[in-house]
Structure 1
Amino acid sequence: MQYHQLYSVVISILEKEIAPKFTYHNADHTQIVLDNAIAIGEKENISEGEMILLKTAALLHDVGFVENHLNHEMLSCKFAKKHLPEFGYSSKEISQICEMIMATKLPQTPKNHLSNILCDADLYYLGGDQYQFYADQLYHEFKSSGILKTKEEWHQRQLDYLKEHRYFTKWVQEQRNEKKIENKLTLEKHGARFSKKGRGLENFQDLISAIGGIIIAAFALNSFLVPNHFFDGGITGISLLVHEVYHFNLAAVIVIFNIPLVILSYFTVGRNFALKTFLSVVFLGICLWQLPAVDITNDKTIVAIFGGAFLGIGVGLVMRAGAALDGIEVLALYTLKRTSFTITEIILGINIIIFGIAAIKFGIETSLYSVLTYFVATRCIDYVVEGIQAYTGVTIISTKSEEIKFELVNRLGRGITIYKGERGFLPGKYDVSADCDIIYTVITRLEMRKVKNLVHIIDPNAFIYANTIREAAGGIIKSRVKH
């Protein structure tokens, strides 16, 4: 094996052909990994022949970056299979080298001693004093490649990886584990500062959203629905009915009717949600009491459409802030646990009663216009709460699933789920099939075109299908709003 000649050729290629944006994965990194591998190999007492194989794998493990950063390990193996025979390497030796290179792919999966050494040499810096220096190089590389956008995102990624990473060789564990823990604790301190700053901004945004939403909702009630004797669904609809029949103060009725449901939400949803909802309902009552009513129009169609729209926008903004102006969902959630009915069926039943009473007391025409108001309000809530965040589930089947997975995770920043499947079974070729990874991810609907373009560039023949996620379990605020 002519290792020294190979070394000169590969280092020259790395120095000349790797793009400048790769501030971490370059010739310097390869030399560092090579030096680390030699040092660890000596401590692990490997043989001279094994040392040559290890050095060759370390030398070639990132040469794939010359061609593409996607699946660079596979491209490095391709380079090895093409060029190593020219330097006297046998097929068996090349296979061993490729096994070591593929083991460095994250998450690392070494299956033998030499692979353990190379994996530890590749990420030796995680437990070193110069961790921050190399981490910054990698951050700038990821940012210039479009994999990351913010420093906060990078800190979280590094913190997650340090929590999961482990060294494989005993000598490296003894040398690097303690410092790696120190580096993780330092990152956690930085992350806490980022998190505190982010929570403060998020709370301020929620406050503005809630205040604006409450004022808009109060405007809709005072200037559209109440003057024209229109109704809505849920607790708001019940409050309007009581106000019209008994002429009680609407502000007081809405607050009184929602308080039991706020208390109930404390036990069924959580303290934070209950507190936010209570404050929102009280502020709504104050706005209804203090804000002047403006008689805008008596046209029933305009009242139904625009009254419902303003009400829906207001309620939706409050929902985005993590609260509610109408406790009907809390009641439905509570009832759901004690009956076989779904939340949708429970809310539908309550609203049928509300609009039925409205029809009896105030006429069918008023009831039907109120149904239109409710429909418009519901659609506006859906748009405000979901808006560009409306989610779509996307399934992708492709022979180039590795490249697609990398782009979805690192360029779009999306989590993915992989199903092991089998593709093929075409008409006339039923007996032809192959194993494949079926990729599933959840994106916003405005990202759909971006995903299609991304997949098409990698594999024009990929099969993609999408479905709208209409409802999700695990919380009434994150689920589709039913008003």
Structure 2
Amino acid sequence: MSQHKSSATPVQDIIYLILGVLSASFALRSFLVPNHFLDGGITGISLLLHEVFHWHLGLVIVLINIPLIIMGMYQIGKHFAIRTMLAVIAIAICLQYMPFPEITHDKLLVAIFGGFFLGLGIGLSMRGGGAIDGIEVLALFTLKRSSLSITEIILGLNVVIFLIAAFYLQLEVALYAMLTYYIAGQTTKYVIEGIEAYTGVTIISAESDKIKAAMVLALGRGITIYKGERGFMKDSFEVSADCDIVFTVVTRLEVRKLRKLVAEIDSKAFVFTHTINESSGGILKKIVKH
């Protein structure tokens, strides 16, 4: 969560943090708080305490994040902790003094757009090198003391939040909280990965020479070659052959075109893809522009 583009300047980071704070504050004051809605993560805990005990939301957010900021300083770094602290304090100030209007009381719209603007704020703050919702910091801290994965820890924490919400408030509130958290999470993921999402494609084929030529000469792709072995089938485990494993990076819109090209050369080629985050360098930018 602390990684962002190495080319980003301190000014860009500050802009990201400011926009993140404004977006998250807008989501809270204009959508979630007036309609007694919840979210997951640390923000969800803060909203739950605000709803159950009627504590000041800005103060609750600051107090809950203090131990997480301390954890973040040791887990991630001093700059992350400082930026997170400033972002959290800024949210508390915005919640107290900025006159955000109440946009709607339609529950579905509140869940969708409240989650969207909250996720946008969290994602922008993370791109700025800080964090508004520090649940991943807590998960990293717990990870070293358990055999669970970060995803399992975050899921477990959110299940507890939603169960408490269902018990102390209403089941409907918990269900809408799940929807809000899902939308916020997807928005955060999209903001962090960036608009220019790339896909890594790995191709294993007996016709690797033809595929290499087609990708470079026909598609204008840059490729990387790994040396490997094909074969090792169940009925002929001892039989194998050297092969070139072709790897390249394309945009999401180009994946289908690349698969079609490979299929025309070798219909039995093994092709698999995975998402690439924060790609830079090489000829990626040049290819996208043309």
Tell me the TM-score range normalised by the shorter chain.
0.7 to 0.9
Q: Aligned to 2:60, which of 243, 253, 258?
A: 253
The change in CA–CA distance for 1:242 and 1:430 in structure 2 (over 3 A counts) is: closer
The change in CA–CA distance for 1:213 and 1:422 in structure 2 (over 3 A counts) is: same
CA distance in 2, matches of 1:375, 1:221: 16
Q: With structure 1 as the length reference, what TM-score do the two structures score?
A: 0.49
Contact 2:230 2:240 in 1 (8 A): yes
Instruction: Name the residue aligned to 1:468.
Output: 274
Aligned-partner SS, 1:277: helix
Q: Does 1:224 align with 2:31?
A: yes
Query: Across the two proteins, how many residue pairs are aligned to each other?
Result: 266
Instruction: Name the residue aligned to 1:327.
Output: 134
| 1:194-343 mapped onto 2 (5 Å cutoff) | 199=7, 202-343=9-150
CA distance in 2, matches of 1:387, 1:265: 24
CA distance in 2, matches of 1:400, 1:417: 10
Q: With structure 2 as the length reference, what TM-score do the two structures score?
A: 0.79
The change in CA–CA distance for 1:325 and 1:392 in structure 2 (over 3 A counts) is: same
Instruction: Give the deviation of 1:432 after TM superposition.
Output: 9.1
Instruction: Name the residue aligned to 2:287.
Output: none
Q: Does 1:437 align with 2:241?
A: no
Instruction: Give the deviation of 1:407 after TM superposition.
Output: 3.6
Contact 2:230 2:242 in 1 (8 A): yes
Instruction: Give the deviation of 1:313 after TM superposition.
Output: 1.4
CA distance in 2, matches of 1:344, 1:456: 35
Contact 1:388 1:445 in 2 (8 A): no
Q: In the TM superposition, what whole-angstrom CA distance separates every residue of 1:337-381 from its partner, at most 9, and x where no partner exists? A: 110111111111111111111111211111111111111111111
Q: Aligned to 1:378, which of 171, 175, 185?
A: 185
CA distance in 1, matches of 2:141, 2:255: 36
Aligned-partner SS, 1:323: coil
| Higher-helix-fraction structure | 1
Instruction: Name the residue aligned to 1:78.
Output: none
Q: Does 1:404 align with 2:209?
A: no
Instruction: Name the residue aligned to 2:228.
Output: 420
Instruction: Give the deviation of 1:430 after TM superposition.
Output: 11
Larger-gyration structure (1/2): 1
CA distance in 2, matches of 1:286, 1:464: 55
Instruction: Give the deviation of 1:261 after TM superposition.
Output: 0.7
Q: Does 1:362 align with 2:157?
A: no
Contact 2:73 2:80 in 1 (8 A): yes
Gaps of 5+ in 1: 1-197, 472-483
AA aligned opposite 1:461: D
AA aligned opposite 1:353: V
| 1:15-26 mapped onto 2 (5 Å cutoff) | none
Gaps of 5+ in 2: 1-5, 278-290
Instruction: Give the deviation of 1:283 after TM superposition.
Output: 1.7
**RMSD after superposition:** 3.3
Instruction: Name the residue aligned to 2:156.
Output: 349
